[in-house]
């Protein structure tokens, strides 16, 4: 009981460090006037419940890091670097970069989205070393050198298939569910992909209706690869770790957000949950099978 309490307090310290560093760095970011006004609007309308919901992304990121660190078969600086790479690019950079593509829809500048990556990176840089120090597996056995080498062509094919799964699931959900909600149609009425969904813009079928979710799936698949070096003993744990990472951006849609009406926000959250969960399960299974953990190089 005492051990569990100590670990809980350590975990809460990691969350506190992440949150404090994030808010501190955010305060110095040169955001546009439009973004600043939106931030002020959020502050003025915040309730205790919405504040707690806004903490969910921080808690999720810390828990994902904790889960990976606890099940890692490497440690020290190598674990810190690999985990920082996975968490920053998959959880922070990619969602903001893809969000910047549709910045005009939200009335803010593309660089507002990219500026958010800076406090995200600094927060991870502060939290991850502490998480590794507190929770790294002391009984780990490094097996990276024993693993069967991956073929680049086969890996590229599997990652490409992951991109197709994300794009296919996204388009199906858009056509079967999202476009039937009037508020959603009005919100995205002027976008090429919504026009494509109604058969009004053929070019929009390829960009961005197909290309953006496909690119999302491919990029997430690529940034899941370092987890193959971190977690080497269980396909279930490896797949769970990938799902925790790729689902992390969904947590940002839980709290009310003036950028998105509630209906739009819930539909986006459902779409991302379905597509990212499918991607995590697919990548976790096909990439693990490639490893051949019971086979050793004879060289």
- C-alpha radius of gyration, the chain, whole number: 20
pLDDT 10s digits, 200-232: 666 666 666 678 889 889 999 888 888 988 988
pLDDT at 199: 63
Pick from 279, 272, 278, 285: which is nearest to 239 by CA? 285
pLDDT at 141: 55
292 pLDDT band, cuts 50/70/90, is: very low
Question: What is the chain's mean pLDDT, rounded?
Answer: 83
299 pLDDT band, cuts 50/70/90, is: very low
Share of the chain above pLDDT 70, in %: 81
pLDDT 10s digits, 39-82: 777 666 667 676 777 889 999 999 999 999 999 988 889 999 99
- Measured distance CA(30)–CA(47) in Å, rounded: 26
Assess whether pLDDT exceeds 50 at residue 293: no
pLDDT 10s digits, 122-136: 999 999 999 999 998
Burial, 85: exposed, middle or buried (Cβ in 10 Å; 0-12, 13-18, 19+)? middle
Pick from 230, 262, 264, 263: which is nearest to 245 by CA? 230
Assess whether pLDDT exceeds 70 at residue 289: no
pLDDT at 153: 83
- The residues, ordered by sequence, that sit 6+ positions from 180 with a Cβ below 8 Å of its Cβ are none
- Measured distance CA(191)–CA(79) in Å, rounded: 41
State both tokens at 221: 């698949």
More confident residue, 89 or 140: 89
Return left, alpha or beta for 261; rule: phi > 0 is left, psi -120 to 50 is alpha, else beta. beta
Assess whether pLDDT exceeds 50 at residue 294: no
pLDDT 10s digits, 85-120: 999 998 999 888 887 776 665 667 777 888 889 999
Pick from 145, 159, 141, 144: which is nearest to 221 by CA? 159
pLDDT at 150: 65
290 pLDDT band, cuts 50/70/90, is: very low
pLDDT at 140: 66
Assess whether pLDDT exceeds 60 at residue 295: no
Inter-residue contact 123 to 20 (CB < 8 Å): no
Assess whether pLDDT exceeds 50 at residue 298: no
pLDDT 10s digits, 163-178: 999 999 998 998 889 8
- Measured distance CA(284)–CA(268) in Å, rounded: 24
pLDDT at 61: 95
Assess whether pLDDT exceeds 70 at residue 283: yes
């Amino acid at each position: 009981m005492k051990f569990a309490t100590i670990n809980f307090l350590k975990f809460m310290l990691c969350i506190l460090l992440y949150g404090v560093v994030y808010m501190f760095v955010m305060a110095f970011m040169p955001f546009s006037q439009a973004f600043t006004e939106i931030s002020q609007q959020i502050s003025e309308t915040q309730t205790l419940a919405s504040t707690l919901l806004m903490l969910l992304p921080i808690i999720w990121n810390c828990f994902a890091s904790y889960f990976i660190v606890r099940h890692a078969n490497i440690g020290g600086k190598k674990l810190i670097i690999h985990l920082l790479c996975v968490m920053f690019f998959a959880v922070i950079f990619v969602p903001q970069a893809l969000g910047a593509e549709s910045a005009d829809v939200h009335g803010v500048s593309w660089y507002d989205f990219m500026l958010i990556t800076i406090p995200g990176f600094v927060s991870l840089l502060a939290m991850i070393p502490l998480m590794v120090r507190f929770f790294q597996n002391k009984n780990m056995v490094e097996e990276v050198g024993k693993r069967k080498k991956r073929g680049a062509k086969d890996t590229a094919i599997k990652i490409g298939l992951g991109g197709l799964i994300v794009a296919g699931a996204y388009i199906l959900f858009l056509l079967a569910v999202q476009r039937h909600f009037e508020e959603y149609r009005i919100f995205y009425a002027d976008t090429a992909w919504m026009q494509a969904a109604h058969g009004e813009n053929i070019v929009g079928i390829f960009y961005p209706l197909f290309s953006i979710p496909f690119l999302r799936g491919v990029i997430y698949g690529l940034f899941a690869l370092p987890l193959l070096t971190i977690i080497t003993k269980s396909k279930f744990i490896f797949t769970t770790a990938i799902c925790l990472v790729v689902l992390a951006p969904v947590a940002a849609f839980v709290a009310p957000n003036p950028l998105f009406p509630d209906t739009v926000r819930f539909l986006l959250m459902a779409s991302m949950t379905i597509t990212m969960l499918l991607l995590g399960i697919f990548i976790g299974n096909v990439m693990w099978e490639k490893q051949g953990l019971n086979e050793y190089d004879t060289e």
